[in-house]
Chains A and B, each alone.
Chain A
Amino acid sequence: MMKKTLAILLSMCMSAALLCGCGDKVQEPAASNGEEAGADQETPAEPEAGENEAEPEATSKGDGETYNFTFVSPLVSHEYWIAVENGIQSGADEQGVNVNVLGDTKVDVDVMVKYIDTAIAAQADGIVTMALSPAAIGPAIDRATAAGIPVVLVDTDAPDSTRAAYVGTSNYDAGFEAGTAMIEATGGNAKIGIIRGTVGQETDNDRIKGFEDAIANEAGMEILTVEACNSDMLTGTQKAQDMLKAYPEMNAIFGSEGTGAVAAGKVLEEQGLSGTITVIGFDDTAECLDYIRSGVVWGTIVQKPDFMGRKAIELLTRINNGEEIEETVIDSGVTLVTKDNVETYKEDAK
């Protein structure tokens, strides 16, 4: 018995170790985009480690030295977060700072907390991350602030924490935009099925809440069901198929993250139902844009990941330079992409 318990414990430790190894490995190709990032990204805080220890508010340095920031990504292999990362890298190039990227290939709040603690231990000059779950990430942010490391949140805020600033659109507002778009697209008459990511993810909760509030005053708008696809495309198509069967009266689908609308689009196209059901989704993956061009998906809500990343780095640099940030909540806004602006919205956003 004892032996078995030991074996299980050991295997857990080993898998945890593997997990770290994996995360570190994945970030390499992405991080090496930045030209000067390569040299000392492995030991981000080494050059000024001593100074940091002596004086927690390490804002005074900067003569000739470059700042080392850490970006803790919730999901390194996702198009959206890669766009944020690219924004961060171009921000780093603009500001002349180094950014080290940490993150895992699946969404796990514990892993994010661990990486934030890693960044604190490495005495980074600043941390960019997102509050996947404000309750869980908040204390880690507070630890960073206590260690004199400013934290700028992108995409998802943790307003009760001691974060220095937040750049993004609240998911509630983005969901509200999607709801408004749905009213516009269906003329105020829709029986809606929602495909969300995972059950219990706050990003999804807030978007759906915003969506619900947007349509609340429309008598003709009704939500029939909410299903979860776990952000897996195959599961998404299966859920979409099942929903079409279970709710024959359904005439609209809202995907509250990147997978739902594309999955629904595949099923509708396959069953020859394109155009009969109004699909509105989130994020501008290549597939989603193609479905918008072909009329299978009516529209998608796009946040501005590139802007978020660049702004976050700019803010961290300014904080490190000793500047006061007067506006700590910066609304990056969303874009509704439909057939009308699918070719031009990227230019318009800049």
Chain B
Amino acid sequence: MKKKLNVNSLIKVGPLALLCIVTGIINPVFFSSSNLIDLARSISFLLIVSVGITYVLLGASLDMSIGSVMGLGGAICGLCLVNDWPVWLSVIMGLLAAAVVGIVNAVLIVNCQIPALIATLGTMYVARGIVNVLTKGEPYYPLPDGFKAIGQGTLFSIPYSVFIALIIVMIGHFVIKKTPYGRSLMAVGGNREASRVSGINVKKILFSSHVLVSLLAGFVGIIMAARLSSAQPNAGEGWEMTAVAAVIIGGTSMYGGYGSVIGTILGCALMETISNAMVLLHVSVYWQKITIGIIMVAAVGMDTFRLKKIAAR
């Protein structure tokens, strides 16, 4: 059983590996350590928030507000920083703001029974609106050096964000696979009614997953502001689509109950590697979107085809 699982996940790496090898052969710079570090950093940002999205999708819910929450987390943190608040307090304020959006999302979806798509689209606009009202369109800048270190500091020349992402991934994976909470989340996503009947506190599970994704999104927003030395008002715009796409490419079902954090790593790696490879392969900017779309569909298609073959056996 264990062995079969490993073979399966190896096949899943296929499209990504193929892309890396082809890019590396055409332009060896791809495998240079500095490019890999750049790439790892890009992946780490997307990965942190995608772990949260994985949880939400596993519970058969959805969150479209994460992009705006990223902007909000960064902006609130930046606002505190430019008013000379200490770094730790500013970070906590940014996280708190993100958590508030998460709680609102959860109340709307879980308690008020508003469809997740609509509720989070609403908070997406409201959160971005708050950012715009606060920043009036101008980035919070300059930010103190102590804060910038979060996004720009390195350990063995690897950015902190990569380590942070690794830790979050490990915890995220462990919770899903090894804890009662993770099993309950899977069950809720698989069949909400059956889970409720069998005594799982469905509301609590869904509530927590929505707060979690907002916290992670706010956290990425803060790291992003530190990385860019400024809290940009449009930070995170469009990330909800990228993150949801990455998670689904990683094999997590949009209908809940099935998926993994490990798959999400692959999905995020594929998304960011495509964008890196496009430039290294000198693909014209006008053709990039077409290429990205084809690779995405091909990656998911290969996986679906493989699963069907297994099922047919």
> Contact residues of A with B, CB < 8 Å?
7, 11, 14-15, 18-19, 21-22, 25-26, 29-30, 75-79, 81-82, 105-106, 196, 199, 225-228, 230-234, 237-239, 241-243, 245-246, 248, 266, 270, 285-287, 290
* CA–CA, A126 and B148, complex, Å: 46
Give per-residue flags for B103-144: 1 if the beta carbon is below 8 A from chain A beta carbons, else 0. Answer: 000000000000101100110011011011101111101100
Identify which of residues 204-253 in chain B touch chain A, using a CB-to-CB cut-off of 8 Å: 224, 227-230, 232-235, 237-238
Neighbour of B280 across the interface among A21, A30, A246, CB < 8 A:
A246
CB distance from A277 to the nearest CB of B (A): 16
User: Contact between A78 and B118 (Cβ–Cβ < 8 Å)?
Assistant: no
- Sort chain B's interface into a size bin: 35 or more
* CA–CA, A199 and B34, complex, Å: 28
Asked, given contacts A26-B133, A230-B238, A245-B34, whether A11 binds B115 with beta carbons under 8 Å apart, the answer is: yes
> Contact residues of B with A, CB < 8 Å?
27, 29, 32, 34-35, 38, 42, 45, 115, 117-118, 121-122, 125-126, 128-129, 131-133, 135-139, 141-142, 152, 224, 227-230, 232-235, 237-238, 275-276, 279-282, 284-286, 288-289
A-B residue pair count with CB separations less than 8 angstroms: 123
* CA–CA, A25 and B125, complex, Å: 11
A105 cross-chain contacts in B, Cβ below 8 A: 128-129, 132, 234
A286 cross-chain contacts in B, Cβ below 8 A: 138-139, 141
User: Contact between B138 and A242 (Cβ–Cβ < 8 Å)?
Assistant: no
User: Contact between B42 and A231 (Cβ–Cβ < 8 Å)?
Assistant: no
B132 cross-chain contacts in A, Cβ below 8 A: 26, 76-77, 105
**5 nearest A-B residue pairs (beta carbon):** A242-B279, A77-B137, A77-B132, A22-B125, A246-B280
Residue of A nearest to B275 (CB): A238
| Chain B binding surface, main DSSP class | helix
- A sample of 14 cross-chain residue pairs with beta-carbon separation below 8 angstroms, ordered by A number, consists of A14-B121, A18-B122, A19-B125, A22-B129, A26-B133, A81-B137, A105-B129, A199-B289, A233-B232, A242-B275, A246-B27, A246-B281, A266-B228, A266-B229
Asked, given contacts A30-B136, A290-B142, whether A228 binds B285 with beta carbons under 8 Å apart, the answer is: yes
* CA–CA, A233 and B121, complex, Å: 23
User: Contact between A82 and B137 (Cβ–Cβ < 8 Å)?
Assistant: yes
A243 cross-chain contacts in B, Cβ below 8 A: 279
* CA–CA, A79 and B139, complex, Å: 9
B131 cross-chain contacts in A, Cβ below 8 A: 77
User: Contact between B234 and A77 (Cβ–Cβ < 8 Å)?
Assistant: yes
User: Contact between A79 and B34 (Cβ–Cβ < 8 Å)?
Assistant: no
B38 cross-chain contacts in A, Cβ below 8 A: 238, 241-242, 245
CB distance from B29 to the nearest CB of A (A): 5
B281 cross-chain contacts in A, Cβ below 8 A: 246
A76 cross-chain contacts in B, Cβ below 8 A: 132, 137
Residue of A nearest to B276 (CB): A242
* CA–CA, A248 and B280, complex, Å: 11
A233 cross-chain contacts in B, Cβ below 8 A: 139, 228, 230, 232, 235
Residue of A nearest to B45 (CB): A234
* CA–CA, A270 and B133, complex, Å: 31
User: Contact between B228 and A11 (Cβ–Cβ < 8 Å)?
Assistant: no
Residue of B nearest to A270 (CB): B152
B286 cross-chain contacts in A, Cβ below 8 A: 199
* CA–CA, A38 and B35, complex, Å: 53
B125 cross-chain contacts in A, Cβ below 8 A: 18-19, 21-22
User: Contact between A227 and B138 (Cβ–Cβ < 8 Å)?
Assistant: no
* CA–CA, A233 and B138, complex, Å: 13
Residue of B nearest to A243 (CB): B279
* CA–CA, A26 and B128, complex, Å: 10
Asked, given contacts A26-B132, A105-B128, A245-B29, whether A287 binds B42 with beta carbons under 8 Å apart, the answer is: no
* CA–CA, A244 and B272, complex, Å: 17
Neighbour of A14 across the interface among B118, B233, B238, B275, CB < 8 A:
B118
A237 cross-chain contacts in B, Cβ below 8 A: 227-228
User: Contact between B135 and A77 (Cβ–Cβ < 8 Å)?
Assistant: yes
B45 cross-chain contacts in A, Cβ below 8 A: 234
User: Contact between B234 and A231 (Cβ–Cβ < 8 Å)?
Assistant: yes
CB distance from B35 to the nearest CB of A (A): 5
Neighbour of B121 across the interface among A7, A15, A78, CB < 8 A:
A15
Residue of B nearest to A30 (CB): B136
Given A238-B38, A285-B138, 9 more A-B residue pairs with CB atoms under 8 Å apart are A15-B121, A22-B126, A26-B132, A77-B132, A196-B285, A225-B282, A233-B228, A234-B232, A246-B279
* CA–CA, A246 and B286, complex, Å: 17
User: Contact between B137 and A238 (Cβ–Cβ < 8 Å)?
Assistant: no
* CA–CA, A110 and B234, complex, Å: 20
